[in-house]
Structure 1
Amino acid sequence: MKKTFFWWFLGIFILYGVIIAWYLFIGANTELPSQYKGTAADPTTFMTNEQLLLSSEFSRIKHLIFFLSIPLEWGIYLVVLFFGLTVKFRDIAKGTMKISVGRTAIFVFLLSGISAILSFPLDYISYKVSQAYHISTQSFHSWMRDQVIGFWLGFLILFLVVSVIYFFMRKNEKRWWFYTWLVSIPFIIFMMYIQPVVIDPLYNDFYELKDKELEEEILTLADRANIPAERVFEVDMSKKTNAMNAYVTGIGSNLRIVLWDTTLNKLEDDEVLFIMAHEMGHYVMHHLYLNVLASIVLTFFGLWFGSMVLRWFVKKFGKVFHIKGVSDIASLPALLLIFSLLSFLVSPIANAISRYHEHAADQYAITMTEDADAAIGAFQQLTVTGLSEVRPPWIVKVFRYGHPTMLERIHFLETYKE
């Protein structure tokens, strides 16, 4: 059974990879429609031939890595189930710890460890590709440090979540999902509150914006938008990447306006102001809170549907995989597989909503700044620096893009200008 599963999965994975690669590199139509040629959205008007070639290569390779990483994650959970690792992890945890919390910690650590090991090659390839195309400037030591921080942070969060889920499972195998959802509400809000001041600084150094004149202009924009900010933060992302970004995040006293130093180094001040006005638009239109509300709603339906699928899975395959019941910690890989599948299926809808919000923020920003040239220049520079595609393949837009394509964004701004 193990060998049969392994060869079937490997064959399907390779076939899937070949089909996706063919689509991305050959089959997908990314040619710019004739009505956009010669406009500000035409990459030939602001990118060199070399940049166009590198953009096409880099984007397709990164898309391929993304679409390979999804079934790889599912495959890891299936390997843990089919090869009996979930039972071995449960037995090791039982033999090591007497209390249930300790056993959960051991099990989650072993599962997280095997996932990290099996995912590492593709993560490393992604890192090396970004380096080869001069997007990443991060040393291997720094990259590994982030990987280690990410592992322990992910382990801690997963341990807390799993502890709550299986505590309620042991209390009530049919209603555990509802009690878990109730507990998740303050947890989601808490994570949004602490992320800017606790989690983000684990990866990068934050400090007050050095350019005080620009900071004053940004704070003036914030004041016009009724955003209670007293300072603007700069983060030293140039140690890791050439890409650019900015954001407004957090709630209450933990609200932060943040600029990557790469954005400051590569954009003119008026272009930076448009980018910041865009980010402020998210805050003004309550997108941060809408995202929290959406997370709460999706968590409700995800837990509810996931509980039904898990109950069916254990009833159907419990004996095959030696899972004693829904509340058996050995069912965790199956539960994570179910959640991962649900997340993937919902992602096109989530991305579509996100693109709508991003377009609304673009509209807000151009209304506030009334500088279409600066806005267009900012998006063109973002395209060049990140080696982005102006018109990505359709399937990439659906599953990867939480923003409108650069073609759509620049065309909107050019239309506004006219």
Structure 2
Amino acid sequence: MKAKWVVRALLLFVVYAAAMFVYIFISDNSGVPETLRGTVADPSTFMSQRELYLSEGYSKTRNFLYFIMTPFEWLIYLVILLTGLSRLFERAGQKSSKWAAGQTTVYLLFLTFTASLVMLPLRYVSYWVSKQYGLSTQPVSEWLKHHAIDLCFDFGWSFIMVSIIYFFIRRSVKRWWMYVWMATIPLMLFYSFVKPEIIDPLYNDFTPIENKQLEEKILALADQAGIPAEHVYEVKMAGQTNTMNAYVTGIGSNTRIVLWDTTLQQLSEGEILFVMAHEMGHYVKKDVYRGMILYFAITFVSFWIVAKLMNRIIRKYGKALHIERLEAIHSLPLYLLLSSVVLFASDPLSNMVSRHEENLADQYALELIGNEKDAISTFQALAKTSLSETNPPLLVKWFRYSHPPLIDRIYNVKKQEKKE
């Protein structure tokens, strides 16, 4: 019976992957609207035929990988449950230590290692695709190093969260989800505060920007925006990627203005100032705090849904999934599976809100800088260096685009220009 469940799950995943392949690679579900063809928003006016070809191939491949990687992770957790591996991991933890913390550590080591090992080929394919299309400049050794840092950080975070979750489950089977949600609020605020100082430097080198004249102009903009920043930081990314980025990170006294060195190398001064004005728009409009409120609201609903579903599934299918009771740590793969499904389903809402905030930040930057030409050339440069779709298919836009498609951003600039 359990073998049949595994086979059915695998077949369902194959059917889903095939459907996504048809949608992304075969269906004609994107393109430049007739009204925008030949305008500055049309990629054929600022990208070469080779760039258009690479953009289409890269975007479709990355979109397909995105839509199969998360469901593949669900499949891993389901198989771990159906095969009884989760129970075996729990017993290994019980044999290795008499302390709850030691048992949790051993269990998570087995679970994390198994899931990561199975996911590694897909993660490597994603890295390899970026490398083949010229976006990634990262050597395999550096990619493995960053992957190892991710694993260590994820393991530490998982240990904290799992300890909190099962602490409250064992004390209140009905209300654990609410207590866990309340516990995550100070944790996330603390993470946002220490991220610029402790987490980010684990991955990259941050140094004060070398171009002091540019720094003065950026800090002048920051002063206009009321951002408490004394320095602009440059992060060395050229050894990892050819893409560009800039952001304002942190909260309170830990706020940082950050530019990738690739951005400094590939954009003009006017374009860089527009990018920074856009990022400052997020700060001025309190998008970080609104984003946190939205995150807390989504996680509140997510914890409630997951708690309800876990109880029902364990009651009905607990025997088949080798789950004896909710409060046993071997139920963790079910929690991870359901949490991932619920959060994946919430992505369209999160992205819709984010795209709205990005539009407002673009408008703020235009008001602050007042240079539509630099805005348009910035978006065109971003499209070329990232090989991103300027007008993606609907499902891709819903699930993947936290920023408006570049064709919309360029079109909005032109509309603003006409109003003036």
Q: TM-score range by the shorter chain?
A: over 0.9
Describe the superposition over 1:4-45 as per-residue Cα deviations: whole angstroms up to 9, x where unpaired.
233322222222222211111121322211110111101111
Is 1:245–1:263's contact at 8 Å kept on the other side of the alignment? yes
Amino acid aligned to 1:328 = A
- In 2: Cα distance, 1:282 partner to 1:342 partner: 27
Counterpart residue number, 1:299:
299
1:197 aligns with 2:197: yes
The answer to which of 137-146 and 337-346 deviates more is: 337-346
Q: 1:71-150 counterparts in 2 under 5 A? A: 71-150=71-150
Q: 1:170-209 counterparts in 2 under 5 A? A: 170-209=170-209
Is 1:270–1:374's contact at 8 Å kept on the other side of the alignment? yes
Is 1:244–1:382's contact at 8 Å kept on the other side of the alignment? yes
The answer to which of 4-13 and 397-406 deviates more is: 4-13
Offset of residue 317 of structure 1: 1.8
- In 2: Cα distance, 1:97 partner to 1:254 partner: 40
Amino acid aligned to 1:58 = Y
SS at match of 2:238: helix
- In 1: Cα distance, 2:101 partner to 2:308 partner: 25
Counterpart residue number, 2:356:
356
Pairs aligned (count): 418
Describe the superposition over 1:66-119 as per-residue Cα deviations: whole angstroms up to 9, x where unpaired.
011021011011011011111101110111111111111111121111110011
Is 1:134–1:242's contact at 8 Å kept on the other side of the alignment? yes
Is 1:188–1:296's contact at 8 Å kept on the other side of the alignment? no
Counterpart residue number, 2:311:
311
- In 1: Cα distance, 2:404 partner to 2:273 partner: 20
Offset of residue 416 of structure 1: 1.5
Describe the superposition over 1:165-193 as per-residue Cα deviations: whole angstroms up to 9, x where unpaired.
10111111111112112211100101111
Counterpart residue number, 1:405:
405
Counterpart residue number, 1:19:
19
SS at match of 2:134: coil
Is 1:166–1:329's contact at 8 Å kept on the other side of the alignment? yes
Describe the superposition over 1:189-210 as per-residue Cα deviations: whole angstroms up to 9, x where unpaired.
0111111111111110000001
SS at match of 1:404: coil
SS at match of 2:59: helix
SS at match of 2:164: helix
SS at match of 1:399: helix
- In 2: Cα distance, 1:142 partner to 1:108 partner: 25
1:345 aligns with 2:351: no
SS at match of 2:41: coil
- In 1: Cα distance, 2:328 partner to 2:360 partner: 46
Offset of residue 2 of structure 1: 4.1
- In 2: Cα distance, 1:220 partner to 1:346 partner: 38
SS at match of 1:136: coil
SS at match of 1:237: coil
Describe the superposition over 1:302-343 as per-residue Cα deviations: whole angstroms up to 9, x where unpaired.
112211111112211222333221111011000111101100
Identity of aligned residues (%): 43
Task: Specify every segment of 5 or more residues in structure 2 that has no aligned partner in the other structure, as ranges.
Answer: none
Counterpart residue number, 1:235:
235
Amino acid aligned to 2:90 = R
Is 1:351–1:398's contact at 8 Å kept on the other side of the alignment? yes
Is 1:302–1:339's contact at 8 Å kept on the other side of the alignment? yes
Offset of residue 273 of structure 1: 0.4
SS at match of 2:330: helix
- In 2: Cα distance, 1:90 partner to 1:367 partner: 58
Is 2:43–2:390's contact at 8 Å kept on the other side of the alignment? yes
- In 1: Cα distance, 2:17 partner to 2:304 partner: 32
Counterpart residue number, 2:287:
287
SS at match of 2:170: helix
Q: 1:209-228 counterparts in 2 under 5 A? A: 209-228=209-228
Q: 1:257-276 counterparts in 2 under 5 A? A: 257-276=257-276
- In 1: Cα distance, 2:306 partner to 2:339 partner: 7
Describe the superposition over 1:114-138 as per-residue Cα deviations: whole angstroms up to 9, x where unpaired.
1100110100001111000000000
Amino acid aligned to 1:400 = R
- In 2: Cα distance, 1:168 partner to 1:19 partner: 40
- In 1: Cα distance, 2:363 partner to 2:384 partner: 23
Is 2:82–2:322's contact at 8 Å kept on the other side of the alignment? no
1:366 aligns with 2:366: yes
1:416 aligns with 2:416: yes
Amino acid aligned to 1:83 = T
Is 2:135–2:242's contact at 8 Å kept on the other side of the alignment? yes
- In 2: Cα distance, 1:303 partner to 1:144 partner: 33
Q: Please, what is the CA RMSD of the aligned residues? A: 1.0
State the TM-score, normalized to the length of structure 2. 0.98
Offset of residue 227 of structure 1: 0.6
SS at match of 2:60: helix
- In 2: Cα distance, 1:291 partner to 1:17 partner: 32
Counterpart residue number, 1:391:
391
Describe the superposition over 1:124-175 as per-residue Cα deviations: whole angstroms up to 9, x where unpaired.
0011110000000000000000000000100100110000010111111111
